[in-house]
């Protein structure tokens, strides 16, 4: 008994250590990646190129990861190619456009403001869930959106480095990621596919679809701009691109692993905490000018996100109880059987006939009262 308790204790401690370690890696890679992207886009203003390098890094680095993890191939997808056109390709296009819009927003506005705008994801999720999945939310869920909207409005009105292109790009990115999450939830229910395989497929298809656009849009401009032919600047940009691709790959892998380890509420809380870490890190390292009112708006928006996560968790628990209670109510109540009532309503000979499935009229009238069990 003591050994079992010790084993459970060690297992629980190992799981806690694993989750804490993953959170530290997740937060560090995300914060460092955002800072590097901001510095990279200031020197190399080509967000389409940055997006393609990130997706190409995920595609290449997923190959050894899938082999080391021994992930089984998606047989269901191989047998149903139509899902590539109905599910995988739309998800790949959505992922690319959302990621590109995110990079444009980081290029035009500070990291802290861009991530404050992305805190409006619950608002888009509720709206799109109602529109696509016809899901109704509880009153606390709707009320939790109020501080999110107010906080974003305050942060927008008091943002010193405000840019309309950055604001629209951040909103489009948030809308794209919300739509991608809901569409995958709606369409991928019956597809047995590992999340590493899905991540690799989305990156590969996105690269193949948008490399021609990159060649005519960014490729020609980079080639004609003699500034980027300088050895020092070219090596610095290449270093930033490779480092950002590796950090983005780590961020995606750890995020998918966290989803498989913890509950949805724990993941949402960890994701909200990650946003706070990214905003704080960008303010400390890049030292963007902010006002106290701007900080209040950011804090209010993040508090609304935490309140939304709690309200959604309570809603799921209530729906789970409502799904179970009707089954419990429908079970018939088993009343104790009185032996005297049974004998008075049904004689012993009739009960014996019923037990042996023989018509009562065809059985002889035999008394078993004075016989032993062996004789009977």
Q: How confident is the model at residue 166 (pLDDT cuts 50, 70, 90)?
A: very high
What pLDDT does residue 362 have? Answer: 46
| Six-digit token string for 348 | 């012993």
The single-letter DSSP state of residue 326 is H
What pLDDT does residue 374 have? Answer: 38
Per cent of the chain over pLDDT 90 is: 33
Answer yes or no: are the C-beta atoms of 59 and 200 closer than 8 Å.
Answer: yes
What pLDDT does residue 329 have? Answer: 52
Which of 128-137, 296-305, 332-341 is predicted least confidently? Answer: 332-341
How are the residues of the chain apportioned to helix, strand and coil, as percentages rounded to the nearest 5?
80, 0, 20
Average pLDDT over residues 271-288: 87
pLDDT of 353 > 80? The answer is no
Q: How many C-beta atoms surround the C-beta of residue 306 within 10 A?
A: 17
Average pLDDT over residues 333-357: 50
Average pLDDT over residues 72-90: 75
pLDDT of 1 > 90? The answer is no
First to last CA, the chain: 49
Q: How many C-beta atoms surround the C-beta of residue 114 within 10 A?
A: 27
Query: What backbone torsions phi and psi does residue 245 show, to the nearest 5 degrees?
Result: -65, -40
CA nearest neighbour of 203 among 64, 82, 60: 60
Residue 102 buriedness (CB in 10 A; 0-12 / 13-18 / 19+): buried
What is the b/e burial string over 33-70, where b = at least 16 CB atoms within 10 angstroms of the residue's CB?
bbbbbbebbeebebbbbbbbbbbbbbbebbeeebeeee
Residue 269 buriedness (CB in 10 A; 0-12 / 13-18 / 19+): middle
* pLDDT digits 0-9 by tens, 11-20: 768 778 888 8
* pLDDT digits 0-9 by tens, 233-250: 899 999 999 999 999 999
What pLDDT does residue 34 have? Answer: 94
Q: How confident is the model at residue 198 (pLDDT cuts 50, 70, 90)?
A: confident
Answer yes or no: are the C-beta atoms of 297 and 153 closer than 8 Å.
Answer: yes
For residue 2, CA distances in Å to 7, 12, 15 come to 9, 15, 20
Answer yes or no: are the C-beta atoms of 119 and 302 closer than 8 Å.
Answer: yes
Q: What is the pTM of this model?
A: 0.77
Cβ-proximal residues to 53 (8 Å cutoff; 6+ apart), any chain: 241, 242, 244, 245
Distance between CA atoms of 318 and 289, rounded to whole angstroms?
Answer: 44
Beta strands in the chain (DSSP E): none
- pLDDT: is 190 or 231 the higher one? 231
The single-letter DSSP state of residue 44 is S
The single-letter DSSP state of residue 295 is H
The single-letter DSSP state of residue 202 is H
What pLDDT does residue 203 have? Answer: 92
Question: CA 190, 194, 199, 200 torsion: positive or negative?
Answer: negative
Give me the chain's average pLDDT, please: 80
- What are the helix and strand counts (H, E) for the chain? 16, 0
Average pLDDT over residues 83-91: 80
Answer yes or no: are the C-beta atoms of 99 and 34 closer than 8 Å.
Answer: no
What pLDDT does residue 264 have? Answer: 60
Largest CA distance in the chain: 115
* pLDDT digits 0-9 by tens, 304-338: 888 888 888 888 888 878 777 655 554 454 455 55
Task: Give the angle subtended at the CA of 196 by the CAs of 195 and 198, to the nearest 5°.
Answer: 60
């Amino acid at each position: 008994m003591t050994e079992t308790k010790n084993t459970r204790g060690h297992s629980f401690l190992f799981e806690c250590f694993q989750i804490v370690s993953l959170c530290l890696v997740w937060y560090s890679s995300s914060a460092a990646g955002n800072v590097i992207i901001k510095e990279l886009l200031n020197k190399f203003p080509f967000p389409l190129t940055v997006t393609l390098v990130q997706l190409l890094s995920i595609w290449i680095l997923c190959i050894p990861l899938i082999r080391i993890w021994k992930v089984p191939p998606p047989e269901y997808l191989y047998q149903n190619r139509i899902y590539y056109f109905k599910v995988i390709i739309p998800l790949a296009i959505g992922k690319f456009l959302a990621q590109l819009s995110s990079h444009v927003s980081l290029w035009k506005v500070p990291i802290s403001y861009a991530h404050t705008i992305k805190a409006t994801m619950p608002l888009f999720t509720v709206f799109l869930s109602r529109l696509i999945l016809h899901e109704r939310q509880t009153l606390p869920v709707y009320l939790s959106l109020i501080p999110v909207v107010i906080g974003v409005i305050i942060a927008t009105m008091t943002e010193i480095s405000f840019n309309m292109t950055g604001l629209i790009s951040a909103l489009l990115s948030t809308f794209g990621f919300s739509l991608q999450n809901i569409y995958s939830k709606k369409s991928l229910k019956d597809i047995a596919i590992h999340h590493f395989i899905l991540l690799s497929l989305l990156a590969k298809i996105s690269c193949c679809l948008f490399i021609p656009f990159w060649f005519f849009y960014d490729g020609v401009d980079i080639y004609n701009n003699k500034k980027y032919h300088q050895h020092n600047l070219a090596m610095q940009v290449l270093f930033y691109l490779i480092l950002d691709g590796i950090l983005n790959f780590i961020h995606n892998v750890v995020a998918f692993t966290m989803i498989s380890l913890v509950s949805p509420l724990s993941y949402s809380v960890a994701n909200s905490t990650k946003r706070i870490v990214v905003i704080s890190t960008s303010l400390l390292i890049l030292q963007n000018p902010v006002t106290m009112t701007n900080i209040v708006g950011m804090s209010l928006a993040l508090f609304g996100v935490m309140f939304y996560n709690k309200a959604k968790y309570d809603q799921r628990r209530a729906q789970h109880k409502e799904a179970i209670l009707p089954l419990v109510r429908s079970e018939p109540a088993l009343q104790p059987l009185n032996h005297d009532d049974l004998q008075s309503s049904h004689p012993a000979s009739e009960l014996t006939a019923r037990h042996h499935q023989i018509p009562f009229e065809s059985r002889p009238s035999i008394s078993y009262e004075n016989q032993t069990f062996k004789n009977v």
